[in-house]
Amino acid sequence: MAANPSVLMLTLNVFSATGGIEKVCRVAGKSLYDLKVNADIKEVQIYSMYDRDTDIQEKYFPAAVFRGFCGSRLQYIYQAVLQGRKSNIVILSHINLILVGFLVKLFSPGTKLVLFAHGIEVWGPLSLVRKYMLRKCNLILAVSRYTRDTMHAQYHIPLQHFFVLNNCLDPFLPEPVIEKPAHLGHQYGIEQQDTVLLTLTRLAYKERYKGYDHVLYSVQQLKADYPGIKYLLVGKYDDAEKKRLDKIIHQLGIQAHVIFTGFVEDAALAAHFALADLYVMPSKKEGFGIVFIEALYYGLPVIAGNADGSVDALDDGRFGLLVNPEDAPGIQNAIQHFLENRKAYIPAREAVEDKFGFSRYRQNLLYALTGKNISA
C-alpha cells in the first residue's frame, strides 16, 4: 500500500439525517480530512448516497471533498466504483453498502476494503450473499468488543481482521451548561430540587430494548422515598409505543413523575443534559452507545447495561454503573445506590476526554488504516 494512501469513504447519510451512525460518519470524515491536511494520507473523498451537496456542514470538512447523490443509487454505485478503483482504501460506513464495496474489489482487487461495524445491523443473521461479500473486506472497524466478538462468532471471521475503534465525542459538542436551565424546568414542570433521571433515545414499538420499561418500574418503587423523582424521556416516539408506555405509567400511578419531550434538536440537548442528575439506559442491544459518552461529557453519572457494547462506553465500569438489563430489581438498586452516593459517581471529564476524545479517535483511525502513528 502507498505510504500516504488515498481514501474514499462511502456513506448513506452524513448530514441530512440524525442518529449515531451519522455522527460516526461526520467525525470519521473530519478525521480523514484532518489526516490529509497533516499529510498522513494523500487524498480523501466522501460520497453520500442520500445527502445533497448543499447539506454539508463545512466545520467537519470542506465541500471540495464531499459529494451527495440525492438518492440516485445507480449513479452513486457507478461513481463509487470509478473512484474506488483509483483509491488505495475504500471505507464503507454501513453493511448496506457491501455490494458497492464488493464491486470495487471485483474491479480493483488491490484496494483495501474497510467496513464500519456498528451493532445490530451486523450481528446477524446475514444472507449467504452478504456473508460472501463481507469476507472480501480486508478490515472491519468494530465500534466495540461486543460487536467484534459477535461477528467473529457469527461469521467465523478471524480476529486479526478486526480493529476495535470505539466511537468518540463530536469535537463540536456545545460546552456543558453549569446550572439547571430554569426555562426547561418551567416547560416540563420540574423544580430545582427535583431529582431527574434521563434517557435519550428513539421510542419505537418494534425496538423495545433500551430498558426504559425497567426504569419506569424503578420510579414507581422509589417515589415514596424520593417524592421529587422525575423521569425525562427525550426523543421521538411512535404512536404505538407511546400508547403502550402511557398504559404502563397509568397502571403504576406515576403520571406526575414521567415526562415525554418528543424530538429535541441537537442544539438543545446540552440544556436537557444539564436538567438531569443521572443518565440511565440499561439497554441490551447497543453496539456502543454514543449517548453514554455524551452524558459523561456533560457531567452526568451513567447507568448502562452490562450485556452489549455499553461496556466499552463505560470503560468496563470505570465511568459508571453496569447492570444486568434483564434484572429489574438490580436496576432499581443501582438507581437508589446513586441517589444515596451522588458525589461518588460524578465522571472525571478529563479522563472521559482522554479515552473518548476526538484526537484519540483520529490517531486510532490512522493506525487502524495504515499501521502508522500521526506525524509529529
Residues 265-271: what's their mean pLDDT?
Answer: 93
Please give the helix or strand (H or E) that residue 3 lies within, else none: none
pLDDT (tens digit, 9 = 90+) per residue, 111-161?
Answer: 999 999 999 999 989 999 999 999 999 999 999 999 999 999 999 999 999
In the block, residue with C-alpha cell 494512501 = 5
CB 204 within 8 A of CB 244: no
**pTM for this prediction:** 0.95
Residues 175-190: what's their mean pLDDT?
Answer: 93
Distance (Å) of CA 313 to CA 31, 124, 190, 305: 20, 22, 29, 10
Length of the chain: 376
pLDDT of residue 164: 98
Give the CA angle between residues 312, 313, 318 to the nearest 5°: 85
pLDDT (tens digit, 9 = 90+) per residue, 26-85?
Answer: 999 999 999 999 999 999 999 999 999 999 999 999 999 999 999 999 999 999 999 999
Residues 169-173: what's their mean pLDDT?
Answer: 97
Strand order in the sheet with 66-68: 66-68, 43-48, 6-11, 89-92, 112-117, 139-142, 162-164
pLDDT (tens digit, 9 = 90+) per residue, 200-247?
Answer: 999 999 888 999 999 999 999 999 999 999 999 999 999 999 999 999
Share of the chain above pLDDT 70, in %: 99
Residues 287-315: what's their mean pLDDT?
Answer: 97
CB 11 within 8 A of CB 49: yes
Map residue 22 onto helix, strand or coil: helix
Confidence of residue 343 (pLDDT cuts 50, 70, 90): confident
pLDDT of residue 376: 53
pLDDT of residue 1: 59
pLDDT tops 80 at residue 290: yes
CB 124 within 8 A of CB 153: no
DSSP calls for 27-76: HHHHHHHHHHHTTSSSEEEEEESS--GGG--TTTS-GGGEEE-TT-HHHH
pLDDT of residue 15: 96
Of the candidates 154, 144, 116, the residue with the CA atom closest to the CA atom of residue 23 = 116
Confidence of residue 2 (pLDDT cuts 50, 70, 90): low
Confidence of residue 18 (pLDDT cuts 50, 70, 90): confident
Residues 84-94: what's their mean pLDDT?
Answer: 97
The whole-chain average pLDDT of the chain stands at 95
